[in-house]
Structure 1
Amino acid sequence: MSGVEKVQPAFQPSALALILKHTNITTINDFIIVGFPGLPPEYYGPVSALLLLIFLAIVVGNASILAVIIFERTLHKPMYWVIFHLAMTDLTFGIVTIPKVLARYWWNDMITSFGACFTQMYFVHSLAAFNSSVLMIMAFDRFVAIWLPFRYPVLITNKTICVACSLCCTVTFIRMLGLVLHASSLPYCNLNVITQIYCDHLSVTQLGCGENVIYVKFIAFVNSMFSLLGPLTIIIFSYTSVVIATLKMSEKRHKILSTCAPQIFITCIYYVPRCFVYIANNLGLNFSTDARVIITTMYSLIPCAVNPLVYCFKTQDIKEVLIKRFKRRKVCIVFKTDFKHNIS
């Protein structure tokens, strides 16, 4: 035996990793948003162009709906204030999510700061939950209109709708603040790559380390079930009651169903994909990363772009207002053209 003892280093890599795993210290300052992970570089242009078109459709479509409802006094009715809140939510969601993924494909800007990522997460989940609440209010409005028609003008007023939407918005944004703060309390040690087009709770928290990750995910799951299934239960009950009551009527059946059809369609394109994803996950159907990102993108962004078309073509009052304004604009253009021709 030699008298000289071999000195061991104070921290070996495995010991350091073990310490980081069990401490509440975040060692990363930013996240990298990959977007569509399996997308070849030669498709960056077409995909970003498609996303730009979706963004323009969301902004122009929903901004037009907001302007029409605000400036057309004949649309100052309870149902159209519900549509107003839906359009405002869709517009904000598009502005919060799409510009960052466009920057990723246009300028290769994939890095987002720690605070910006959690801020985006906060708005993504708050707006989605608020959208669900507004769809519930829309369904309840139709239920009261069909089952309590004489009480409808008293129970459902512009003030009632605005108060209900404001209350749902306030409660939702406060509740989601707790959810996001809970997620931000996790330590994030060495992984910072988000395989998604924006920061959402699932994609971010799976990068967390420490013993509380499972608990944070469970609380988020309970919260999401409450946000989705609670309003969905009321929505299904309301529209089922409306359909049953309508089928018993001998008159105005077509008019009532045509009034409810766009609302049911909007609800379906919001809920059906989300329910499919949750059911598939519970049945053990695993999607590839690319498929998961594409499905999430479709059920997040497509409804925001499609809803204004549904309002315009399936809602009689809005369609009539737009046609009237278009004809008025056309007459003004013809008049100006004739006036200039006569002068010359």
Structure 2
Amino acid sequence: RSVRMRSFFILGFPGLSPQFHGPVSALLFFVYMSIAIGNIFILVFVLSERSLQKPTYLVFCHLALNDLTFGTVTLPKIISKYWFDDSLISFYGCFLQMFFVHYLGSVTSFILLVMALDRFVAICVPLRYPVLITNQIISVLCGFAWFIPLSLLITIILQALPLDYCKSNVIAQCYCDHISITSQACGENVKSVQITTLCMAMFCLLLPLAFILFSYVSILVVILKMSNSAGRRKTMSTCTPQIFITCLFYLPRCFVYVANTVGFSFSLGVRIFLILLYSLLPAAVNPIIYCFKTQDIKQALMKRVRTTRIRVIKVSV
């Protein structure tokens, strides 16, 4: 057996000229601050505003926590690469990052399922909504969303760790993921480990997606059957934030997977950029969608702003 690698080298964006390292690190730092500020704001605002402590907004909180954690797990290392020329990550540190990258992605998928279930019950069986969807039930369902992928990801890590890593120690990505790590492994078991992992990944992505598609198609059918156009618009507006968020998560992934399946290949730089984009864009954009596309949050936010403005005027007078 070969000697176990002590560390991996994060490649980042291949061929990027050193003169662009500063601007790229500044851009990534701005993205991270946007993710951190936006999602912390949603968590604090929803949890401190009693009128927003409803099932729908508790799901938003779980998603915000997930997005915040994902940004914190992935971005600091790639920022330090371009800011401080620190490209090395320890062997076990890389596996830990890989675990969180795939675990948090899987959790997002299941949280989006809970989000779709919430809207499905609210629109398709509205009279049963207060009984079927309560804060307690949503908390339990979101707890399952965090718990279900855990055993799968532990299995994936335990399968990948014993492999013989005898190729390059370069991770052709901005963070450690399963494909980048196992592509540096040798031996007969590598292919079976990759196939097993692919099957688990498809389970975590496609099972929730199947229900999400079913629920939103059912919602669309109910909306189209409504005779009142104002009622149609109002009902549709209650689920547009969830549809936006779901599309941001699934559509770019499906595009990349389908493109690879039909034989359309991207250059390494473009592939890395696309993966980084679809991994981080939802985390940065979701808080904006919550605030501007969700009527209750928008109204609560405007009320808080007006109250603060009145207090400032009174103090100044």
Shift of 1:27: 2.8
CA RMSD of aligned residues (A): 1.0
Mapped partners of 1:101, 1:331: distance in 2: 44
**Alignment match of 1:330 (pick from 274, 294, 309):** 309
Mapped partners of 2:95, 2:21: distance in 1: 26
Partner of 1:272: 251
**Alignment match of 1:307 (pick from 283, 286, 300):** 286
Shift of 1:335: 1.8
SS at match of 1:112: strand
Gaps of 5+ in 1: 1-22, 339-344
Partner of 1:166: 143
Mapped partners of 2:190, 2:182: distance in 1: 7
User: Is this contact kept in 2: 1:27–1:190, CA < 8 A?
Assistant: no
Shift of 1:26: 4.3
User: Matches of residues 248-287 of structure 1 in structure 2 within 5 Å?
Assistant: 248-251=225-228, 252-287=231-266
Mapped partners of 2:150, 2:25: distance in 1: 30
Mapped partners of 1:179, 1:132: distance in 2: 18
Shift of 1:39: 1.2
Change (3 A) 1:183 1:26: farther
User: Is this contact kept in 2: 1:81–1:161, CA < 8 A?
Assistant: yes
Q: Deviations over 1:219-273 (max 9, x none)?
A: 1111111111111110000000001110101231110111111110110010000
Shift of 1:184: 1.3
Mapped partners of 1:278, 1:180: distance in 2: 23
| 2:87 maps to 1:110 | yes
Partner of 1:290: 269
Partner of 1:239: 216
Partner of 1:212: 189
- Number of corresponding residues: 315
Mapped partners of 1:180, 1:323: distance in 2: 46
SS at match of 2:164: coil
Gaps of 5+ in 2: none
User: Matches of residues 4-153 of structure 1 in structure 2 within 5 Å?
Assistant: 23=1, 25-153=2-130
Mapped partners of 2:186, 2:255: distance in 1: 29
Mapped partners of 1:78, 1:50: distance in 2: 35
Identity %: 49
Moved segments of 4+, more than 4 Å: none
Q: Structure 2 counterpart of 1:221, which letter?
A: L
SS at match of 1:31: strand
Mapped partners of 2:282, 2:5: distance in 1: 34
Bigger drift between 229-238 and 39-48 goes to 39-48
Partner of 1:194: 171
Shift of 1:302: 0.6
Q: Deviations over 1:311-342 (max 9, x none)?
A: 0000011111111111111122222222xxxx
Partner of 1:4: none
Mapped partners of 1:306, 1:76: distance in 2: 22
Larger gyration radius, structure 1 or structure 2 = 1
Q: Structure 2 counterpart of 1:248, which letter?
A: K
Mapped partners of 2:296, 2:175: distance in 1: 36
